[in-house]
Chain A
């Protein structure tokens, strides 16, 4: 596994300059890259190095640092290695290159990312609305969207939920009263 990782790092570094890697235990290897070379590095990994399976695309909102982190997770069935390609983009004006010509299923991930985080994907096809309908607020998966506040404001709550009075004592007291005499000896 060590050789495979070293070889892969060497090949990547030979073709791209601004790449830094981080090694993990087991079959995982991370590459931190610049957002501009995302399509190139993913194509390179898929076509030249055999990382044919795009396992996941995820986005993490680092609100405190003002950045979104995008993680592409690839898998090679031959080398049995998970490769993470990570990039960070500005949170204020997030733009991401489209990769659905490399993997068709990336389209779904990107549509979701566009709707849930408000990230603009260059040249992405497909309807604007993916999971939500008539959504007026900010993209809901951003950290600063307060879901509980929104739910309180929009939907009614069942009465009796707000007060946190402990009623267990009362219930036990009442239920004790109704216990018939013969059953008294079994009660707590």
Chain B
């Protein structure tokens, strides 16, 4: 007997949703037959506001685009402005940038560990990993003054040099986190329930991935080796040695495996950066921000975040303010069309896990 289809509103106020968005699910029994996303709850018109700010003022908005991982956006903006202006960046600043980016990645992985497991009812992981994430945020606080919004990587370099003995404290934290990552593995990947609930769920195969323009860990989870840090290297990533993990399962489980590897690679990169960091100055002075004009031109730059490729398109019309700043988040692709297609045929209980696995981050979609 066919069951009657019902409409279920998943969000915006829902404990399982990864941010402030809504999915209209059409369900038959427990199975989803159609999903429609509705976004826009977080649209605060950054791109409009940035047209009304000067180049330095709009830099302070960049980190607020997506809160789980704020540094890639700052770095993108800085790099785009440098590309338009032709400004040189000191070598040491590039190394510090990579270190900050990788620390931010690590912090974001910790949050993902908590979210992914929380969505399946394994709350212990949240207590562990979000608690341990504070150690990274402490480092950020020491370096930049803020836990979440750093505003540290700015056009021309970074805002200030590392404090005395900072490298040692980073290494100490990394040693601790590396040990903890093994504990997480015991809890997560040896867990029969986690295995059962994630294997074969939320399939994104190669054909779908190409059709949708999927990026990041989701693409690597279906067996395609792709990473902006290697394909289109920026800062000093081409001088560093790291591997890009892939997995063939194309489900939540294999994406989790990819991210598990990537967290360890981040630790490896930070260690290399600290080992090989040169001396020297950390920024080239920018002119008076009130009168700072950029030449006419545009730039599209990309970086690899935890969720995947983030791109930023910046246009200058030769004035003191940006003509257009347009962010392309990974979630912009994953969170709307891909999510709608992947959810069809899944259970209601798995929606939250799939959203976490695809890296749906509404503030990045809506901007």
Q: Give residues in A with beta carbon < 8 Å to B.
A: 27-28, 52-56, 58, 60-61, 71, 73, 75, 77, 80, 82, 84, 103-105, 107-108, 127, 129-133, 140-141, 143, 145, 147-148
| CA–CA, A143 and B210, complex, Å | 35
| CA–CA, A60 and B299, complex, Å | 13
Decide if A103 touches B211 in the complex (CB within 8 Å). yes
B337 in the interface (beta carbon within 8 A): yes
Given the known interface contacts A108-B332, A141-B47, the answer about A80 and B212 at a Cβ–Cβ threshold of 8 Å is no
| CA–CA, A130 and B365, complex, Å | 11
Q: Which residue of B lies closest to A28 (CB)?
A: B300
Task: Known pairs A73-B311, A103-B213, A147-B48; list 14 more (Cβ under 8 Å).
Answer: A53-B213, A55-B311, A56-B300, A58-B313, A60-B315, A60-B323, A61-B324, A82-B232, A104-B211, A105-B212, A108-B336, A129-B40, A132-B40, A132-B43
Given the known interface contacts A80-B232, A108-B336, the answer about A131 and B328 at a Cβ–Cβ threshold of 8 Å is no
| CA–CA, A126 and B51, complex, Å | 28
B180 in the interface (beta carbon within 8 A): no
| CA–CA, A65 and B300, complex, Å | 23
What is the minimal beta-carbon distance from B321 to any residue of chain A, in angstroms?
Answer: 11
Decide if B40 touches A130 in the complex (CB within 8 Å). yes
Given the known interface contacts A107-B337, A108-B336, the answer about A55 and B309 at a Cβ–Cβ threshold of 8 Å is yes
A-B contact pairs, 30 of them (CB 8 A): A28-B300, A53-B215, A55-B213, A55-B311, A56-B300, A56-B313, A56-B328, A58-B324, A58-B326, A60-B323, A60-B324, A71-B313, A73-B300, A73-B313, A75-B232, A77-B226, A80-B231, A80-B232, A82-B300, A103-B213, A104-B211, A104-B212, A105-B336, A107-B337, A132-B40, A141-B48, A147-B45, A147-B48, A147-B49, A147-B52
Main DSSP-derived SS at the B contact region: mixed
Q: Give residues in B with beta carbon < 8 Å to A.
A: 38-40, 43, 45, 47-49, 51-52, 210-213, 215, 226, 231-232, 298, 300, 302, 309, 311, 313, 315, 323-324, 326, 328, 332-333, 336-338, 341, 366
- On chain A, the residues within 8 Å of B226 by CB distance are 77
Decide if B326 touches A131 in the complex (CB within 8 Å). no
Decide if B337 touches A54 in the complex (CB within 8 Å). no
